[in-house]
Amino acid sequence: MAPDATAAAGTTPVLTATGVTMRFGGLTAVRSVDLTVHDRQIVGLIGPNGAGKTTFFNCLTGLYTPTEGTVIYRDTLLPAKPHLVTQAGIARTFQNIRLFPSMTVLENVLVGRHTRTHEGLLSALLRSPGFHRAERASHQRARELLEFTGLADKADHLARNLPYGEQRRLEIARALASDPGLLLLDEPTAGMNPQETRAAEHLVLAIRDQGIAVLVIEHDMRFIFNLCDHVAVLVQGRKLVEGTPRTVQGDERVIAAYLGTPFEGAPGQDEAAEVEAAEAARAAEAATTAAALAAHAQAEAATRAEAVTRAEAVTRAEADPPTATDDTPPHPHHEENDPR
């Protein structure tokens, strides 16, 4: 049974997407979609494969620039730049897990804090009091999130060594590290067993209870209808219907869409295939860009760490200058003034 929307959700809009359209050349992947998410609300976005759900997510989070339409977060028009969207208060996870596999669980969560810390390279080199305060606060928040997601005992493990379900939870913890007001989850239970799916459901409800709105894409209908206050259905880029889980479950158009039965205004199979291919190509391009950005971030972090190490070495050398010993050769000046 879905949670009571009137008890759980607020009335203040957190996200308002209006007329969002995304075209790839002559192909339209998302067509004039409107969607509103209120504070403390869990909204499900469902639809068959190729419906445009992830493309719509990418438009909301700045990975794609919508061809038409606007995306507003708490009365602020969002720019099509992912880091500014995150800074504004929207965080997301991805359909395919995107962790830093060679970093520890704790370090992965700390990466998510970068939009909430303001200490620069100079502060890190000088090891200023502000830098130490920010570092302590980030570590404390990261450990709180690991406790919240049930990963506290895995803080020092490498991310790649976690089981699949725990990697999903780690990605959620990293997203929460940016202190979002809205969390977007792209198929958070994909590949999970029933026990892991139930744990994910409890985690999402706990996130909502902390005052964070959630927009979730998922193919597991039981998960969606048990969890969500409101559900919207996309079919071939169009919003087909939205409402309470009970309303959506009973709509014959939704049943027809999932069974593959054509309905009035439905696009043809050829058009659907072309849109799906265009989405896949754009997603591959976005993944390549994300990998390049991740590599750059790791290189920058390594450079910064090396700079800090060198600065500490110089500081130690200045604090402890070498002392003369019996084996130290006499200074040439002394030899010139030797009376012998």
pLDDT in tens, 225-279: 999 999 999 998 999 999 999 999 888 888 888 766 655 555 555 555 666 666 6
Residue 166 lies in a domain: no
Range of the domain at 195: 1-89+180-269
- pLDDT for 1 equals 45
Indicate which CATH number applies to the domain containing 235. Answer: 3.40.50.300
- pLDDT for 336 equals 45
Distance, in Å, from the CA atom of 118 to the CA atom of 60, rounded to the nearest integer, reads 25
- pLDDT for 77 equals 95
Whole-prediction pTM = 0.72
- pLDDT for 70 equals 96
Residue 198 lies in a domain: yes
Residue 309 lies in a domain: no
Domains of the chain: total: 1
Residue 321 lies in a domain: no
Distance, in Å, from the CA atom of 285 to the CA atom of 276, rounded to the nearest integer, reads 14
Angle between helix 53-60 and helix 269-319 axes, rounded to 10 deg = 40
- pLDDT for 248 equals 93
- pLDDT for 135 equals 75
Residue 295 lies in a domain: no
Secondary structure of residue 306 in the 3-state scheme: helix
Residue 235 lies in a domain: yes
- pLDDT for 6 equals 39
- pLDDT for 339 equals 47
Q: Which residues of the chain have pLDDT under 70?
A: 1-10, 115-132, 134, 259-340
In Å, how far are 77, 236, 308 from 74, measured between CA atoms? 8, 28, 39
Residue 225 lies in a domain: yes
- 275: nearest Cα among 17, 27, 22, 12: 27
Distance, in Å, from the CA atom of 175 to the CA atom of 91, rounded to the nearest integer, reads 5
- pLDDT for 158 equals 96
Q: How do 230-235 and 42-46 pair as beta strands? A: parallel
Residues 6+ apart with CB under 8 A from 277: none
Distance, in Å, from the CA atom of 2 to the CA atom of 42, rounded to the nearest integer, reads 10
Distance, in Å, from the CA atom of 36 to the CA atom of 25, rounded to the nearest integer, reads 27
Residue 101 lies in a domain: no
